[in-house]
Amino acid sequence: MTKNMGSADKIVRTIIAIVALYLYFSGTVTGTVGIVLIVLAVVFLLTSLVSFCPLYTLFGMKTCKTKKA
């Protein structure tokens, strides 16, 4: 599993996850939409922690800097 996420991508995902968690735990978003929001927040946090997004490999994307030989 090689890294395919850059630092800007990780920061944006973390911020989105924090906002989603805040919206859920403050009671702004509830019900099914709240549960979906929590699941997405957890996925965003996990992918930003490991610097790997499975969808990026499906589409052949990379947001991290490549090392020049």
Q: Is residue 64 part of a domain?
A: no
Q: Is residue 67 part of a domain?
A: no
| pLDDT reported for residue 1 | 78
Give me the mean pLDDT over the 47-62 stretch: 91
Q: Which domain holds residue 11?
A: 7-59
**pTM for the structure as a whole:** 0.84
Q: Is residue 19 part of a domain?
A: yes
Instruction: Give the whole-angstrom CA distance, residue 38 versus residue 32.
Output: 10
| pLDDT reported for residue 64 | 86
Q: Using one digit for the tens of pLDDT, what is the confidence trace for 3-40? A: 889 999 999 999 999 999 999 999 999 999 999 999 99
Instruction: Give the whole-angstrom CA distance, residue 34 versus residue 31.
Output: 5
Instruction: Give the whole-angstrom CA distance, residue 55 versus residue 61.
Output: 8
Instruction: Give the whole-angstrom CA distance, residue 42 versus residue 66.
Output: 27
| pLDDT reported for residue 18 | 97
Q: How many domains does the chain have?
A: 1
Q: Is residue 49 part of a domain?
A: yes
